[in-house]
Amino acid sequence: METQTQAHKFPLPLDFDNVSTLPDSYEWSTTTLPSDDPCHYTNNDRKASLPVIDIGDPSAYDLVRHACEKWGAFQVINHGVPLSLFRETELQTRRLFSLPTEQKLLAARLPATLCGYGSAYFQAFYTKLMWSEGFGMTGSPLEHARKLWPEDHAKFCEVMEQCQAEMKTLCNKIVGIMLCSLGLTHEDDMNWFQPQNGSDQIQCLFHLNSYPICPNPDRAMGLAPHTDTSLITVVNQGNISGLQVYQDGAGWVPVELVEGALVVNVGDLMQIVTNGKFKYVLHRVVVNNTCHRLATSFFLLASSDAKISPLRQLVDSSHPPLYQAVTGKEYFQLKYKFFNKALESIRL
């Protein structure tokens, strides 16, 4: 059951390797989720599938706009990130999550922080626990990596930093396509999320996700339904499916695996700045009983002091602003307080 103001506690992930049956604390049902949560129906109709867009094609602008308006998400191919880098990232990710639980806990994240090892930040809003573990970083993971491998962390850090650099470049390109599709072409239109005082950097969060083999996947949840506190989030599903997106009228739609493709989710902040033209996507992750699934998520955020509001070029007498202005830091605080109701809390 979702709550709005409960204190934030960060339960440590389970020692998944030593569990043969699903503990009661991890057993979900339709009554576990909020009464208005559309969790009951998974749509396996292949006609309802997330658009796959070649972002090197001239038609990408129109296709991206349509996908953002209808789905709040899409898959991209021809994105320019080397597949060899994804393979190396997966190798290092598997190396991390294969460590004994007591060793992983040496890098446990602190409450109300995003870096290090632990459970999803929004676990606090649900009474049931999620069948997953994660590791977050902003830039170099050295601080936590040397706790895991005191003498052998260099390769892990090198790969993670390289992957973040590639993903940030890709995210900036995708955001440019998204805003250009709305007619925003001047450089000033594109840089609204830059730091205001020159002292703060654009924030990016790179998150490694682990979904261990589950003894009863039909009663478990990898990640509960949520939206992202980002401009966009780029997800590498790896080679095992599990991500689902919600679409009105279709229910939960599994995101198909497309070789070499990356999934792009529209986040809360993009819905604000486009004045509701682009919709955030509600999504979740399901688990399985045969394969240990790994995935990565790269969140492009606004700087903490950036003023986030509907872009003036998208507001007129017929389209008044839908949201009040907030800074990046203020919106993060609202998300920690109201979770999936954060956007509604600043609606005008």
The catalytic residues are 293
CA distance 62 to 86: 28
Say which amino acid occupies 212. P
CA geometry: angle 208, 210, 216, nearest 5 deg: 160
232-271 CB burial, b ≥16 within 10 A, e <16? bbbbbbbeebbbbbbbeeebbbbbeeeeebbbbbbbbbbb
Measure Cα distances from 305 to 48, 302, 308 in Å: 39, 8, 9
Instruction: State the Cα–Cα distance between residues 226 and 233, nearest whole angstrom.
Output: 13
The pairing of strands 251-254 and 243-247 is antiparallel
The DSSP element (H or E) to which 272 belongs, if any, is helix 268-273
Which one, of 221, 208, 210, lies nearest residue 287 by Cα? 221
- Which of 191, 180, 166 has the alpha carbon at shortest distance from 89? 166
For residue 54, the SS3 value is strand
Amino acid at the residue 226: H
CB–CB of 119/12 below 8 Å?
A: yes
- C-alpha 225: how far from chain center: 11
Cα–Cα distances (Å) from 16 to 19, 35, 91, 130, in that order, read 6, 29, 20, 11
The DSSP bridge partners found for residue 133 are 210
